[in-house]
């Protein structure tokens, strides 16, 4: 149960990290802190694409994936509602005006692959030095991916956050839901690809929290 609560809390603060400032580096630094907060408890996924990558490596049981997914969706939904309460607005994701559907969907997919691979390498090929740096590596990697990819795709490579923010935006007469298929399918496909790629490149992996 601690893992699921951790995923919920971390997903909540992920929304605040991205929603309270438009500075992607500042958001990334806050994400570093919440990854350290939950890394030893749940792995600090806060993202269904990352959890799906662990499932695709066959190191995460299907039941655990669905529990993580539920916690992440609940956390991002509460975060979006709280952000709306604080600021009267919610996160709105949309691609650049000159970005075609093929382009922004590809960015969502490919950058999710990179993000998920970082998590898999850090948590499944663990050593003592990486234990101390895992939060910095994962958080700054995410910040870098956001700075490069978001101006093109407009998304955050996170299906739970994309879905819950679109729901709140829809009730505010927004239309960001039209981009939701790319924001859902792209990162989820990227997570599966990352898991399969990891299995093909790394023969030995460390046991995870639910295997210990």
For residue 114, give its domain range.
2-211
Q: pLDDT above 70 covers what percent of the chain?
A: 92
So what's the pLDDT on residue 31? 84
CATH number of the domain residue 25 falls in = 1.20.1080.10
So what's the pLDDT on residue 95? 86
Three-class SS string for the chain? CHHHHHHHHHHHHHHHHHHCCCCHHHHHHHHHHHHHHHCCCCCCCCCHHHHHHHHHCCCCCHHHHHHHHHHHHHHHHHHHHHHHHHHCCCCCCCCCCCCCHHHHHHHHHHHHHHHHHHHHHHHHCCCHHHHHHHHHHHHHHHHHHHHHHHHHHCCCCCHHHHHHHHHHHHHCCCCHHHHHHHHHHHHHHHHHHHHHHHHHHCCCCCCCHHHC
What does the pLDDT profile of the chain (212 residues) look like in tens digits? 888 999 999 999 999 888 887 777 778 888 888 888 888 888 889 999 999 999 999 888 999 999 999 999 999 999 999 998 887 777 888 888 888 888 989 999 999 999 999 999 888 886 644 567 788 888 888 888 988 988 888 888 999 999 999 988 888 777 778 889 999 999 999 999 999 999 988 866 665 665 55
Count of domains in the chain? 1
Record the pTM.
Answer: 0.90
């Amino acid at each position: 149960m601690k893992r699921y609560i951790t995923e919920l809390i971390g997903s909540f603060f992920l929304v605040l990290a991205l929603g309270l400032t438009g500075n992607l580096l500042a958001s990334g630094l806050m994400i570093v802190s919440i990854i350290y907060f939950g890394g030893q408890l749940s792995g600090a996924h806060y993202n269904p694409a990352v959890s799906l990558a662990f499932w695709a490596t066959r190191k995460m049981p299907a039941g655990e994936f669905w529990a993580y997914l539920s916690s992440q969706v609940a956390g991002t939904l509460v975060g979006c509602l709280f952000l709306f309460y604080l600021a009267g607005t919610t996160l709105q994701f949309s691609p650049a005006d000159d970005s075609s559907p093929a382009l922004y969907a590809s960015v969502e997919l490919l950058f999710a692959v990179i993000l998920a691979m970082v998590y898999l390498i850090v948590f499944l090929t663990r050593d003592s030095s990486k234990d101390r740096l895992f939060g910095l590596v994962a958080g700054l990697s995410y910040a870098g991916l956001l700075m490069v990819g978001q101006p093109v795709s407009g998304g955050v490579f996170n299906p739970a956050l994309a879905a819950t923010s679109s729901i709140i935006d829809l009730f505010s007469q927004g239309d960001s839901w039209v981009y939701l298929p790319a924001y859902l399918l792209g990162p989820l496909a990227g997570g599966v690809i990352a898991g399969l790629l990891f299995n093909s490149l790394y023969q030995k992996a460390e046991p995870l929290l639910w295997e210990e």
